Amino acid sequence: MSSPTDRGRRLLPLLPTNHPLGRQAVTCQYRCGNACSHDAPNTSANAYFGDVVKEVVSRRGMLKAGAVVAAAGAGALAFSGAAAAAPAHAEADLDADLDLRLGRDRDGLNFEPVQPNTLDELVVPKGYQSDVVIRWGDPVLPDAPKFDFGNQTAAAQAKQFGFNNDFCGLVPLPGWDRWLMVSNHEYTSEEFMFSDWDANNPTEEQVKIAWAAHGLSVVQVERDHRTGKLVPSKDRRKYNRRITMTTKFEVRGPAAGSKHLRTSADPSGKVVLGTQNNCAGGVTPWGTILSGEENFNQYFANANQVADATTKARLARYGMSGGATTRKWERFDKRFDLAQEPNEANRFGWIVEVDPLDPTSTPVKHTALGRFKHEGANVIVARDGRVVAYMGDDERFDYMYKFVTDGTYQKGDSKRAREHNKRLLDSGTLYVAKFTGDSPAAEIDGTGKLPSDGEFDGSGEWIPLAHNDKSFVEGFTAEEVYIFTRLAADKVGATKMDRPEDVEPSLKNRRVYAALTNNTDRGKAGKEGATEVAPRLGNKHGHVLELEERRGDNTATTFSWKLLLVCGDPNDPGTYFGGFDKTQVSPISCPDNVAFDSQGNLWISTDGNALKSNDGLFAVPVEGKRRGQVKQFLTVPLGAETCGPVITDDFVLVSVQHPGEIDGASASNPASHWPDGGTSQPRPSVAVVWRKDRRRICG
């Protein structure tokens, strides 16, 4: 399965796609309900902040101004990461110099980059190998039946690994090299799951299989020291668990029990069955998993039959305005029919928390973290002990958020500490981000050309939306802020972003990195144009933003920011790689999930490569002389998306989501045969990559 960087193989012809991006139309249909084909639901008239030119007065801004002056005589060096560096960077430069002089392979990024390709395999760098950890249909529960593609049942699927795994997280177990691996099963692609799929007439069993194929899996895994592989544990599987569309969730936080969350099946408004479209996520320091319910709107039918104007407008802001759904679940459970149960959709779109270390625990939906198309949530413990969660709302022209807990984190893994920490996300303050550029608006010309100060950068503020039962938004109760968060954020003038996906703090430097995947609507008639934080019109390739909270305090309400990467083909003058020499970087398009290795390097996976290569995983230093040097670590097979990267010192995990999901392909006409080869059906899987010489990847 492992592949050298360049084996001289014939590349498959590039696939035609009628989608504006590299993403296939069939993926859009099943994954996000064709979000890009509909009007972006944010029609609010938030001001174009670029009109207001402000001088950045932060410590970093002043340093940067000095650095630009100092570098003015050095031509192109003015744009280098080193020239724009804060003291932390300068220290890192010294460290990097020392490492270079001592020949130390410290940062783990010395692999030879993989070249763009359209192969139907997982391609990893020379000297590395890969294998599948678990694939769709493999057993999770001890009594799971063997996977039988042609005779799948809902009962079997509920015990097997679900479909289209996205986020992947590892929670360590005591002892050597054992973990609980938690995977999100974001969505089902029925055409690829059933050879007799009839989109107009799904059977009840097929729908129930789909319910069981959504949700999450908890799988105990361990390192096979003979081979170096990561494998599911064969015994001691007491933690293994499936969470599906019928698993009971507890609704917690300030909006639990709200009238907007009550339905005929749940008059309490506190108990929801299932979780949907779980995209990215994060592991908390207390050993739980946070997972984002993203494109939940696509599962709810008949918003067009809802009479009440307020309800209708709220549904529309979340992308619900049509009739029947693609999957037709509404035929088999009336809760998916908004004409009958208009509040059921309000019970999705949350951050959910799962405790994999307690297989009998009831997972939680956290209302305090707001309701939107949550990509995921990643937390950091601030210096004062409070916990801060960073979050993106993955929609064109939607927003970035953070949540700061009232309580403080308790160290240790005692039962008492864990129970305390598992309550932290119940109370705190929810904020939305407003970004201000520091360059004149006239210098942001929409092409990606850098303004005269050499960077897309500026300052920003976190605007409070609500704190427990107190609303800070005029005309909204606190409950309404939490449940209709998008509308509350519209009111306070939040900044429209280009699809904020993963937003993750670095535990090394406390800065926050956000993947802004793309937004081909930027600048279209009636839509917001280029701004310094979203500087390209028709943004096809996306960018990566770096945010530094004031004084490095993650609870602060002001910050500075800069774009670390403006993605695309480095030969395109409208791209930027942290100031690094663009002849020395890998092309990258549509950043989606981010992760860090133990040295603090940023790893980025892509979704929908608009450069017509397969999606992949990339690594980039964020400190020192190599800041911005993007290198491609792997590519995933044809039609697949790279998700859920986990970077340990010894191995890398990636979720290979929707292999073979190519327009025109189906179970009877598969475009991919990964991972099993031959004439097999493609199966979404978790894959592991490690060095053949068994040396550490980093650390």
Binding stretches for ligand FEO (CB under 6 A) = 186, 279, 294, 375, 394, 501
| Least distance to ligand FEO, CB of residue 135, Å | 20
CB-based contact 312:306 (threshold 8 Å):
yes
Can you tell me whether residue 36 is helix, strand or coil?
helix
Beta bridge partners of 514: 503, 545
| Least distance to Ca ion, CB of residue 591, Å | 10
Using CB distances below 5 to 8 A depending on partner kind, what does residue 107 bind out of ligand FEO, Ca ion, none? none
- One-letter amino acid identity for 56? V
Identify which range of 38-46, 544-552, 586-594, 616-624 contacts Ca ion by CB under 5 A: 586-594
Pairing of strands 386-393, 616-620: unpaired
Using CB distances below 5 to 8 A depending on partner kind, what does residue 453 bind out of Ca ion, ligand FEO, none? Ca ion
- The per-type count for the chain, helices as H runs and strands as E runs, is 10, 30
The size of the interface with Ca ion (CB under 5 A), counted in residues, is 9
| Least distance to ligand FEO, CB of residue 276, Å | 11
As a whole number of angstroms, the distance between CA 662 and CA 615 comes to 13
As a whole number of angstroms, the distance between CA 28 and CA 24 comes to 7
CB-based contact 83:71 (threshold 8 Å):
yes
Identify which range of 114-122, 402-410, 437-445, 669-677 contacts Ca ion by CB under 5 A: 437-445
| Least distance to Ca ion, CB of residue 324, Å | 26
- Burial class of residue 589 (count of CB atoms within 10 Å of its CB; 0-12, 13-18, 19+): buried
**Closest CB to ligand FEO among residues 279, 382:** 279
Hey, what are 328's tokens? 């037709």
- Burial class of residue 463 (count of CB atoms within 10 Å of its CB; 0-12, 13-18, 19+): buried
Hey, what are 422's tokens? 């598992």
Is residue 398 part of the contact set for Ca ion (CB under 5 A)? no
**Closest CB to ligand FEO among residues 186, 480:** 186
| Least distance to Ca ion, CB of residue 644, Å | 9
| Least distance to Ca ion, CB of residue 453, Å | 4
Is residue 592 part of the contact set for Ca ion (CB under 5 A)? yes
Chosen residue from 277, 439, 589, 609 binding Ca ion by CB under 5 A:
439
| Least distance to ligand FEO, CB of residue 300, Å | 17
Hey, what are 677's tokens? 């080869």
Using CB distances below 5 to 8 A depending on partner kind, what does residue 330 bind out of Ca ion, ligand FEO, none? none
Identify which range of 37-45, 142-150, 365-373, 495-503 contacts Ca ion by CB under 5 A: 495-503
Chosen residue from 190, 353, 453, 498 binding Ca ion by CB under 5 A:
453
- Contacts of residue 616, Cβ cutoff 8 Å, sequence gap at least 6: 114, 116, 605, 606, 609, 632, 633, 634, 635, 636, 642
CB-based contact 344:326 (threshold 8 Å):
no
Using CB distances below 5 to 8 A depending on partner kind, what does residue 438 bind out of Ca ion, ligand FEO, none? Ca ion
HEC-encoded secondary structure of 76-115:
HHHHCCCCCCCHHHHHHHHHHHHHHHHCCCCCCCCCCCCC
- Mind giving me the DSSP string for 137-200? T-B-STTPPPP-GGG--HHHHTTB--SSEEEEEEEEPSSSSEEEEEEEE----HHHH-TT--TT
CA-wise closest residue to 632 among 119, 113, 123, 111: 113
Residue 587 φ then ψ, to 5°: -65, 145
**Closest CB to ligand FEO among residues 58, 188:** 188
**Closest CB to ligand FEO among residues 279, 466:** 279
| Least distance to ligand FEO, CB of residue 292, Å | 8
Ordered alpha helix ranges (H), 13-57: 25-32
As a whole number of angstroms, the distance between CA 15 and CA 663 comes to 9
Identify which range of 111-119, 140-148, 497-505, 650-658 contacts Ca ion by CB under 5 A: 497-505
Identify which range of 260-268, 347-355, 501-509, 564-572 contacts Ca ion by CB under 5 A: 501-509
Pairing of strands 241-243, 351-354: unpaired
**Closest CB to ligand FEO among residues 191, 294:** 294
**Closest CB to ligand FEO among residues 320, 590:** 590
| Least distance to Ca ion, CB of residue 15, Å | 21
**Closest CB to ligand FEO among residues 120, 294:** 294
**Closest CB to ligand FEO among residues 476, 618:** 618
Is residue 438 part of the contact set for Ca ion (CB under 5 A)? yes
Identify which range of 144-152, 179-187, 433-441, 612-620 contacts Ca ion by CB under 5 A: 433-441
- Burial class of residue 177 (count of CB atoms within 10 Å of its CB; 0-12, 13-18, 19+): middle
| Least distance to ligand FEO, CB of residue 590, Å | 10
Element at 557 (helix H, strand E): none
| Least distance to ligand FEO, CB of residue 28, Å | 11
Element at 132 (helix H, strand E): strand 128-135
**Closest CB to ligand FEO among residues 50, 500:** 500
Identify which range of 219-227, 230-238, 358-366, 447-455 contacts Ca ion by CB under 5 A: 447-455
Using CB distances below 5 to 8 A depending on partner kind, what does residue 294 bind out of Ca ion, ligand FEO, none? ligand FEO
How many CB atoms sit inside 10 A of residue 313's CB? 13
**Closest CB to ligand FEO among residues 89, 373:** 373
Identify which range of 56-64, 176-184, 230-238, 454-462 contacts Ca ion by CB under 5 A: 454-462
Pairing of strands 364-366, 248-252: parallel
Using CB distances below 5 to 8 A depending on partner kind, what does residue 293 bind out of Ca ion, ligand FEO, none? none
Using CB distances below 5 to 8 A depending on partner kind, what does residue 186 bind out of ligand FEO, Ca ion, none? ligand FEO
Using CB distances below 5 to 8 A depending on partner kind, what does residue 266 bind out of Ca ion, ligand FEO, none? none
**Closest CB to ligand FEO among residues 509, 605:** 605
Question: Which spans of this chain sit near Ca ion (rule: CB under 5 A)?
Answer: 279, 438-439, 451, 453, 455, 457, 501, 592
